[in-house]
Amino acid sequence: MVKEILLGVVIAFGIFAAFLGINVTPLLFLAGAFLLFNYVMENKGLIAGSKNIIKPESEISFEDIGGQNTAISELKEALDFVINREKISKMGIRPIKGILLTGPPGTGKTLLAKAAAKYTNSSFIATSGSEFIEMYAGVGAQRVRNLFETAKNLARKEGKNSAIIFIDEIDILGAKRGTNESHHEYDQTLNQLLVEMDGIKSDGEINILLIAATNRPDLLDPALLRPGRFDRQVVVDLPDKSGRLQILKIHTKNKPLGKDVNLEKIAEDTFGFSGAHLESLCNEAAILAMRDNSEAILQKHFKEAVDKVILGEKSDRKPTEEEIFRVSVHESGHAIISETVNPGSVATVTIVPRGRALGFVRQTDKEDMLIYTKEQLEKDIMVALGGTVAELLVLGNRSTGSANDFEQAVDIAKKMVYTGLSDLGIVSKEDVPKEKVNEEVNKIIQVQEGKVKEILEGKLEVLKAIADILRKEETISGEKLRKLIGEKEVAIA
């Protein structure tokens, strides 16, 4: 509206100046330059600030989201304040202005925000924290103002009395002030967001609720997290076994499954998978079934899809015979130690190259654990060292293929030190000298390596036999591995 008025004034002034005989060419040039600049700025989203706002094409409900029952329960409790506006107004309760969703990538934070819009019958718009940051001063603040205005206008257009604004990766927009000293635009944008959140009122025509998501809440400015801004923080964590089973059922509803498919077994074998990983797993399994010209997705397709999601596509590079045998010995060492210290823990052993890995032992966690004892961590170190010790016993030397295993063992040993489970006792992570930590880590690893060596020396013939079978068959299931170990031990005895 302002642009139209200005344009009219310029045209009128130009006509009047021309009537008086004044040369209006410079004026027309300046007016044209201004309009061109304004057009470019708007199309780049530098003024409008709403070009990159996303409105979902389809509605998602909480029933469509699996593995997040606790997060959904907490979110619904907060959203009830939006639904029961009159009731909370009578009770003199201040409405919730913001909800912060935190958790690892791929756990469903965006889906929860969309489901919240349907649950509250609110208009919904989504954007990302990176959309507010530009090199031009004041642009980010303008975009924040336009974002809230756009939400109100959308709610009016749709005939709704509430709107939900979802900002993904808010740590880009809401990082602690002063961390970007050379770019004050960040701080100005954050200040404007704080002002807009303070201006959200329950007695207005449209009730605005801001939902934001991040996997780095530690980076956020304290002013954002105080009560009155983000009043609720909901943790959206990785799903447990029952949650993974629920997610698998959701993503296989529209897929033809074979009679041999056991989703509970797949959920057991996918410890640490996020919802996004599980969706990708189901999709990859369907692709593998299509490649095999199978009318249904079989259990073998899911098993291969698990490896593909973890490690990537099969490598075209063919290892030499010497490399194949070394990898077979290495993976057999991992597998035997895993079965010795944690019976029934191996899901699959393979020497099929995937990504940058020449082999892999996939373990299954029957119960998701949140805390670990010293003994359990020591067992994990032993499993990590099983491959390199096997190489040393069978081939007489080690290889660079154990580099990742060593890193894993060191990380676990450091965790033992910093949690007071080593001989150093309880230590301060900031104050304990690095040299002392390194000495204790070496000591822990040497002790566990000695235990691994003792176990594998007693099962050396079994190790060689398993490695030979693995070299020929390339992949052995956990069930077959346990059967082979039992048979070989009986034969040797």
- From start to end of 330-474, where are the E strands? 346-350, 360-363
Tell me what pLDDT residue 313 has: 59
Task: Kindly indicate whether the domain formed by 62-235 is annotated with CATH number 3.40.50.300.
Answer: yes
Q: Dig out the tokens for 273 from the structure.
A: 């998978």
Q: The domain 321-492 belongs to what CATH superfamily?
A: Peptidase M41 (1.20.58.760)
pLDDT for residue 44? 43
Confidence of residue 287 (pLDDT cuts 50, 70, 90): very high
Q: Is the pLDDT of residue 447 over 70?
A: yes
- Residues 64-102 as b/e (b if ≥16 CB within 10 A, e otherwise) read ebbbbeebbebbeebbebbeeeeebeeeeeebbbbbbbb
241-311 folds as: Helicase, Ruva Protein; domain 3 (1.10.8)
By the 8 A CB rule, do 373 and 419 touch? Answer: no
pLDDT score for 82? 75
The set of catalytic residues is 331
User: pLDDT-derived band of residue 274, with 50, 70 and 90 as boundaries?
Assistant: confident
DSSP class per residue in 296-328? SB-HHHHHHHHHHHHH-SBPSPPPPHHHHHHHH
Give the number of other CB atoms < 10 A from CB of residue 414: 17
pLDDT per residue as tens digits for the range 65-109: 888 888 888 888 888 877 777 777 777 777 778 889 998 888 888
Torsion of the alpha carbons at 459, 463, 464 and 466, rounded to the nearest 10: 130
Q: Give the mean model confidence (pLDDT) for residues 12-17.
A: 63
Residue 362 is predicted with a pLDDT of 77
CA distance 433 to 135: 43
Q: Is the pLDDT of residue 450 over 90?
A: yes
Which residues on neighbouring strands pair with residue 349, listed in sequence order?
A: 361, 476
User: Is residue 5 pLDDT above 90, yes or no?
Assistant: no
475, 350 in Cβ contact below 8 A? yes
Highest mean pLDDT among 18-27, 120-129, 410-419: 410-419
Residue 168 parent element (H or E): strand 162-168
DSSP conformation class of 216: -
- In terms of pLDDT, which residue wins out, 47 or 38? 38
Name, of 16-30, 146-160, 355-369, the range with top average pLDDT: 146-160
| Alpha carbon distance 213, 174 (integer Å) | 11
Specify the pLDDT at position 43: 45
Phi and psi at residue 59, in whole multiples of 5°? -85, 145
One-letter amino acid for residue 168 of the chain: D
Rounded CA gap, 307 and 353, in Å? 11
360-363 and 346-350 beta bridge pairing: antiparallel
pTM of the entire predicted model: 0.64
The alpha-helical segments, DSSP class H, found in 396-459 are: 403-418, 434-458
Return d(Cα 329, Cα 399) in angstroms, integer: 12
The amino acid that residue 302 corresponds to is F
Of 309-323, 441-455, 465-479, the least confident: 309-323
- Residue range 215-262, pLDDT digits in tens: 888 888 888 888 878 888 888 888 888 888 989 999 998 899 999 999
167-to-98, 273, 475 alpha-carbon distances in Å: 11, 24, 45
Percent of the chain at pLDDT > 90 equals 21
φ and ψ of 31, to 5 deg = -65, -40
pLDDT at 193: 81
pLDDT surpasses 70 at 493? no
DSSP state of 57: S
More confident residue, 35 or 332: 332
Q: Is the pLDDT of residue 156 over 50?
A: yes
Least confident of 348-352, 356-360, 431-435: 356-360
pLDDT band at 197 (very low <50, low <70, confident <90, very high): confident
Q: Please give the C-alpha separations between residue 244 and each of 25, 63, 251, 472, in angstroms, as whole numbers.
A: 70, 15, 11, 34
Looking at per-residue pLDDT, the higher value among 268 and 37 belongs to 268
pLDDT of residue 111: 87
Which whole number is the average pLDDT over 366-381? 80
pLDDT reported for residue 438? 93
Distance CA 243, CA 458 (A): 41
Q: Which of 468, 374, 68 is nearest to 236 (CA)?
A: 68
Rg (Cα) of the chain, in Å, rounded?
30
Mean pLDDT of the chain: 80
C-alpha 146/C-alpha 142 separation (Å) is 6
pLDDT for 45 equals 41
Task: Identify the DSSP state of 440.
Answer: H
* Distance separating alpha carbons of residues 108 and 246, to the nearest angstrom: 14
Both tokens of residue 363? Answer: 């373990």
- Determine the pLDDT at residue 384: 93
Residue 54 has pLDDT above 60, yes or no: no
Q: Report d(CA 10, CA 16) in Å as an integer.
A: 10
| Residue 304 reports pLDDT greater than 50 | yes
| Token duo for residue 353 | 């190259």
Q: Is pLDDT above 60 for 311?
A: yes
Burial 20-56 (b: 16+ CB within 10 A, else e): eeeebeeeeeebeeeeeeeeeeeeebbbbbbeebeee
One-letter amino acid at 304 equals E
> What is the three-class DSSP state of 347?
strand
pLDDT at 237: 86
